[in-house]
Amino acid sequence: MLKTIRAVLLGLVLSVTALSAQAGETKKVDVLLVGGGIMSSTLGVWLHELQPDWSMIMIERLDGVAKESSNGWNNAGTGHSALAELNYTPEKPDGTIDISKAVEINEAFQVSRQFWAWQVRNDVLKNPRSFINSTPHMSFVWGDDNVRFLRKRYDALQASPLFRGMKYSDDFDQIKQWVPLMMEGRDPKQKVAATWSPVGTDMNFGEITRQFVGYLQSQPNFNLSLSSEVRSIKRNADGTWRVSYVKTQTGDSEQDVDAKFVFIGAGGGALHLLQASGIPEARDYGAFPVGGSFLVTENPEIVSRHLAKAYGKASVGSPPMSVPHLDTRIIDGKKIILFGPFATFSTRFLKNGSYFDLLSSTNVHNVVPMVHVGIDEFPLVEYLAGQLMLSDDDRFNALKEYFPQARKEDWRLWQAGQRVQIIKRDGAKGGVLKLGTEIVSSQDGSIAGLLGASPGASTAAPIMLSLLEKVFKDKVATTAWQEKIRQIVPSYGTRLNDSPAKVYQEWTYTSDVLQLTPPPQIDLSVAPRSNSGTGAPRPGKAAADMAL
């Protein structure tokens, strides 16, 4: 009996020792991706294309990928190409329209289309209908001043081949043909105008992410670790990074990974992790979380009669980030309509984050820039305060400005994801609120993260390509990488806005592969007019460029 007990105890000791040794074993990889969203998965696919022999691990805090901002229900799903978003084409003091930002965003989206088309051709992405669908993009305004602005915007955009095929109308009946729900019940004497582009898209970024990660999992050099939370990031003596993480569901002891390169694509969680790494480049940044909610209907009678992403213009006195839109969405094969956004505020940086996120990200390095932004962007603070006080009736009345015959019983309120806007130290102003996304990397390029929000996911492919150019500069310069990049993105290195022939070629190619509306005919003999508004950036509030 005593021998049996001793044998059992010895077995337990040996098992525990073996498990401890296994848990304490440090894995070594070429690339560590923190976060299981559209950015990390896109970078993972890029790197597999360019360097298939590199080993990769992806760590995701939740129990599945694409469950935060990339999830189809947590964003508006717009394929941002500046066809409809009026805040990308500001009016300058001399009354002309600056289309430079619109051109930049449209060109970036063309790169995304080429990247996705290549993945479809190579069976990385499956049925295009599962993640991208042709959906007309519209701008819709009312009132004399707004109608005049929209006409000028339309005329200015005709200078670029990227916006060919767009139509303008201030005719009530014509607009009714495009969007009947938005015109029925509206006063026919109201002065309205719209632009309509048939080449817009609705996106399911969550589906792209899941398919990308699914493909990577089928490769021998890739591992996915779910329900895994990063606890520390430290630089090793040899220049690699030791990342320690724990399994949140099982409570296992910390596991370590030594990585030659770390990418932090953790959405709202990226700032904390960049700060934890200790790189000085992260000290200049703070963050401001803004959430969004939408009114949603799944009523088939309504959904079947609206096919557009119709963007309006912000009300007088409101920052342009408050631009409302009535959107067709296709999520997991089901068509819905959403209206919003209505801004919400939470100190969380992630929908599934901590209420202490904002406080814990504030330190001696970024508190001054954050205070300056709070003062300089006071209209934004006022706007958010007003949004928080909205009643259900207020939100429904806002919907009726776009859908006059809407009924309350058909709509419900949905809380979407969190967007964390960048606050950056500025020598002149102390701190500024920044548009869009920004890559932050160490001087040696061994660790990088992505901060910011819109247009975000729509331009994941070009953003990650920019990251490669920044942190793998020598590799990108090699013949092998150059040839592969140009194979995936044929327009790489070309300014599409200056080449109507190239625009038409790539537009036709991606439309065919992605099963999208064919591009309009482009007169290749007509050179683009110089009306891009390039030059010194205009002064103004950052809120003018923000989007929910």
Q: How would you class 172 by CB atoms within 10 Å of its CB: exposed for 0-12, middle for 13-18, buried for 19 or more?
A: middle
Is pLDDT of 71 > 90?
Answer: no
Please determine, for residue 11, whether its predicted confidence score (pLDDT) is greater than 60: no
Most confident residue range from 346-360, 362-376, 381-395: 381-395
CB 506 within 8 A of CB 110: yes
Residue range 290-295: mean pLDDT, rounded? 83
Band (pLDDT 50/70/90 cuts) for residue 282 is confident
pLDDT level of residue 422 (50, 70, 90 thresholds): confident
Q: How confident is the model at residue 514 (pLDDT cuts 50, 70, 90)?
A: very high
Span 436-472, pLDDT tens digits: 788 999 999 999 998 876 667 899 999 999 999 999 9
| Mean pLDDT lowest among 246-260, 360-374, 498-512 | 360-374
Residue-range domain boundaries for the chain: 72-207+281-289+434-545
Percentage of the chain exceeding pLDDT 90: 62
Compute the mean pLDDT over every residue in the chain, rounded to the nearest whole number.
86
| pLDDT above 50: residue 169 | yes
* Structure-block tokens of residue 476: 């990108």
pLDDT tens per residue, range 53-66: 999 999 999 999 99
**Across 410-423, average pLDDT:** 81
| Angstrom distances, CA of residue 143 to CA of 88, 140, 193, 393, 524 | 20, 11, 9, 24, 36
Work out the number of other CB atoms within 10 angstroms of the CB of residue 233.
Answer: 23
Confidence band for 423, pLDDT divided at 50, 70 and 90: confident
**The pLDDT value given to residue 456:** 77
| Dihedrals phi, psi of 260, to nearest 5 degrees | -70, -35
Q: What is the pLDDT of residue 176?
A: 98
- Average pLDDT over every residue of 505-515: 97
Residue 400's pLDDT is 96
For residue 361, pLDDT over 90 is answered with no
Mean per-residue pLDDT, 256-278: 88
Of 36-40, 129-133, 297-301, 537-541, the one with minimum mean pLDDT is 537-541
Judge whether residue 29 has pLDDT over 70: yes
Token pair of 547, please?
């989007």
Q: CB within 8 A of 100, min separation 6: which ones?
A: 532, 533, 534
pLDDT at residue number 252: 74
In angstroms, what CA-CA distances link 208 with 40, 350, 495?
A: 12, 20, 26
| 378, pLDDT greater than 70 | no
Nearest-angstrom CA–CA distance, 457 and 81: 12
Mean pLDDT of 211-215: 98
Residue 16 has pLDDT above 70, yes or no: no
User: Would you list the DSSP string of 174-229?
Assistant: HHHHH-HHHHTTS-TTS-EEEEEETT-EEE-HHHHHHHHHHHHHTSTTEEEE-SEE
Please provide the DSSP assignment of 276-287 as one string: HHT-GGGGGEEE
Choose from 37-51, 262-276, 303-317 the range with maximum mean pLDDT. 37-51
Give the percent of the chain with pLDDT over 70.
80
Q: Would the pLDDT of 125 be above 90?
A: yes
With cut-offs at 50, 70 and 90, classify the pLDDT of residue 153. Answer: very high
pLDDT at 268 over 50: yes
Residue 384 confidence (pLDDT): 67
pLDDT of 31: 98
Distance CA 284, CA 280 (A): 8
Task: Give the per-residue pLDDT at 292.
Answer: 78
Amino acid letter, residue 297: T
- For residues 232-239, average pLDDT: 96
